[in-house]
Amino acid sequence: MSDPFFHPVSGFDLPRFAGVPTFMRLPHVPADHPRFKDVQVGLIGVPWDSGTTNRPGPRHGPRQLRDASTMIRAQHASSGMRPFETVNCADLGDVGPNPADIQDSMARITAFYAQVVAAGIRPLTAGGDHLTSLPVLRALAKDGPLGMIHFDSHTDLFNSYFGGTMYTHGTPFRRAVEEGLLDPKRVIQIGIRGTMYDTEDRDFAAANGIRIVTIEEFFERGIADVMQEARAIVGAAPTYVSYDIDFVDPTFAPGTGTPEVGGPNSYQALQVCRELNGLNIVGADLVEVSPPFDQSGNTAFLGVSIMFEMLCAMLTPTKG
């Protein structure tokens, strides 16, 4: 059982529109807080989108996600899990980026997460664009490469943009494989679709053993079958989960910078997370929520609902 200090504020005690919004109404416990050492799962914001190559805006994602997350309650509707009573969860605050310098920002993010890892805290991240995942992985994979289950409409395996820019939201997992942060044979990318520049990214995946499940295959086989394969690929070893909100069809998640039509609906977006139960998840992220394109707020609410699902999956006992 978790320490009551780490329980979220109930909507029966303080209306959800009142108070300072933190992730899921959890206590704010920065690194200098006396209870930081007692946190087991930390929710972290990375308000940074310097890797964006088209429509900017995910730097504002963590703030909107926090506000939307005040609607998250204590119990999972179908499983009955009460995650905040299972382990000590807290909002660890935001990584302060340098919006004028990609390399400096990545160094700051890695340093922040290194401190989190050293404290034995498993991170659940709200981005930020998808380049955010790379510096996070640099901290998490210090002891060896991780497996990864990646939900997205894009592979993010390109080598460079604009004639030599190596760090964009389209390149993080190419860099992660090259740096030995990911074991490519334990990586599966699910939901890939949309028009293409060329096949460079898919050629890299094929040459390195990365499994790509296109949206056509995803719908033809169904969620349970695809996720069974995903579980087999990553196995029982340490695994990272990266969830780009543009995995979801833009009808349900319009607030993102690079939407692709023909994707899953909002219920299917939650279902794939429920198939993560029992994996050895050492960290997860939800990225690319862009408030300027989310006038209804529905994208952010779906985003934090996905984060809650991933949190529950992270806390399900690992199966041997």
Annotated binding site for Mn(2+): 130, 152, 154, 156, 244, 246
Please answer whether residues 124 and 304 qualify as being in contact, where contact means their C-beta atoms are separated by less than 8 angstroms: no
Amino acid sitting at position 142 = K
- Paired tokens of 281: 């998840």
- Rounded distance, CA 190 to CA 296, Å? 27
Per residue, the 3-state secondary structure of 49-89, as one string, reads: CCCCCCCCCHHHHHHHHHHHHHHCCCCCCCCCCCHHHCCCE
Neighbour order of strands in the sheet with 89-94 = 89-94, 41-46, 122-127, 281-287, 239-244, 146-151, 182-192, 211-214
- Paired tokens of 261: 């039509």
48 three-class SS: coil
Place of tokens 């308000």: 47
Please answer whether residues 113 and 140 qualify as being in contact, where contact means their C-beta atoms are separated by less than 8 angstroms: yes
Residues tagged in the binding site annotation: 130, 152, 154, 156, 244, 246
CA dihedral (128, 131, 134, 139) positive or negative: negative
Please answer whether residues 268 and 224 qualify as being in contact, where contact means their C-beta atoms are separated by less than 8 angstroms: no
In whole angstroms, how far apart are CA 94 and each of 22, 248, 302? Answer: 11, 25, 20
190 three-class SS: strand
Residue 161 DSSP symbol: B
In whole angstroms, how far apart are CA 262 and each of 55, 94, 164, 209, 269? Answer: 20, 33, 31, 26, 13
- Rounded distance, CA 295 to CA 23, Å? 20
